[in-house]
Structure 1
Amino acid sequence: MDGVLMRFLFLLGSSRSGGNTELLARRAATSLPAGVEQRWLHLADHPLAPFRDIRHDEERYLKPTGNEALLLTETLAATDLVIASPLYWYSVSAATKLYLDHWSGWLRVPGVDFRQRMAGRRMWAVSALNDEDPATAEPLVTSLRRSADYLGMRWGGALLGHANRPGDVLRDAAALRAADAFFAATPLGSGAHDGRVAEPASC
């Protein structure tokens, strides 16, 4: 996407504002170049309806409205998508998972061309966890990376911090150092990732 204005969409998946994951994401964002546009959305402020899987029914997915339309529009407008979700039960938060579930519907809304338009954009992950072993977050990172792979998106990387109580991540010196270098580690507009996987089946 060389020559295209970079637009980072930060999707905050915590159930509360100002949590450790958000603090870590905002720290990382301070290192973005001045010309990069930032858009921050808290998923709790834009709740989505439960996702209905009607792929095999006679119904068709309709053009989204309300909060779903907002999130779709903002997602498509971003060159870089930053999923900032705390680690809940070894995966993303419920609000984040619901947002990803709606991708399945967006793939099938006539005229949206979600897969084609997301291909080549980049996904990043930010998460705070209360376990000092970063391997605990592997299911979250794998889920997001494979979701990016499925749409042909590039993978920017995962930024992890340790926290037990509100504000703890600001005392994690290693996480703060990583945050300061996070977006600089991969030059903006580079780092193609071509992996693709089959779409997950619904239960």
Structure 2
Amino acid sequence: MATRTFLFLLGSSRPGGNTETLARLAAEQLPAGTEQRWLDLRDLPLPDFEDLRHSEGHSAPTGHAATLLEATLAATDVVIASPLYWYAVSTATKRYLDHWSGWLETPGADFERRMAGKTLWGVTALADADPAVADPLVGTLRNSARYLGMRWGGVLLGNGSKPGDVLSDTTATARAKDFFG
């Protein structure tokens, strides 16, 4: 079996938050030999997405966009670790996903074909007792996976507001132990 490569994209506006804590807890359970690459979208800011699908002259991305495209295509599993912000993914995460539209048009990237068959996962922390408030976030990720022919791995939900709170969510920490299994 080929080695799996997990790309963890951290979409929080602060380091060490509950979403990252939960993602790292789940990643600790991955089998030995599983490659992991962690990228924090705060360190790789993308410009606002400009939709050029119906214009001429698409060019390959540069800078942070090139780094993220390369990392995304190199992964077998893409993990979006975004806190729930106003019932959706964070701004940095949404901007990253918006760039997927441009990468579909990037010459030589063959983005749609190369994404098909990968697995998309989500990890999120929310500060609400009702997990249904995360439905818009879950729908965004699930539908993005479906659009590109990716497998849908699901979303690991945890509850917490202050950093570290998620470790008190025993349901989430137990689920993290077999989330990627």
TM class by shorter chain equals over 0.9
Instruction: Return the match for 1:50 from 48, 51, 59.
Output: 48
Partner of 1:172: 169
Q: Give the Å deviation of 1:50.
A: 1.0
Partner of 1:124: 121
Partner of 2:61: 64
Q: Give the Å deviation of 1:56.
A: 2.2
What amino acid maps onto 2:65 in structure 1? E
The separation in 2 between residues aligned to 1:152 and 1:56, in whole angstroms, is 23
What amino acid maps onto 2:128 in structure 1? D
Secondary structure of 1:183 counterpart: coil
Partner of 1:88: 85
Unaligned runs of 5+ in 2: none
Partner of 2:23: 25
Instruction: Return the match for 1:112 from 106, 109, 115.
Output: 109
Partner of 1:189: none
Secondary structure of 1:128 counterpart: strand
The separation in 2 between residues aligned to 1:34 and 1:152, in whole angstroms, is 28
Q: Give the Å deviation of 1:61.
A: 2.2
The separation in 2 between residues aligned to 1:167 and 1:78, in whole angstroms, is 28
The separation in 2 between residues aligned to 1:92 and 1:156, in whole angstroms, is 17
What amino acid maps onto 1:27 in structure 2? L
The separation in 2 between residues aligned to 1:129 and 1:176, in whole angstroms, is 14
Q: Give the Å deviation of 1:106.
A: 0.3
What amino acid maps onto 2:49 in structure 1? F
Partner of 2:98: 101
Percent sequence identity is 65
Q: Name the count of aligned residue pairs.
A: 181
Instruction: Return the match for 1:78 from 67, 70, 75.
Output: 75
Runs of 4+ in structure 1 deviating by more than 6 angstroms, as ranges, are: none
Partner of 1:187: none
TM-score by length of 1: 0.88
Secondary structure of 2:154 counterpart: strand
**1:55-111 Cα shifts (integer Å, max 9, x gaps):** 223x33210111000000000000000000000010000000000000000000111
Instruction: Return the match for 2:148 from 129, 148, 151.
Output: 151
TM-score by length of 2: 0.98
**1:118-151 Cα shifts (integer Å, max 9, x gaps):** 1000000000000011111010001000001000
Unaligned runs of 5+ in 1: 185-203
The separation in 2 between residues aligned to 1:61 and 1:49, in whole angstroms, is 16
What amino acid maps onto 1:71 in structure 2? L
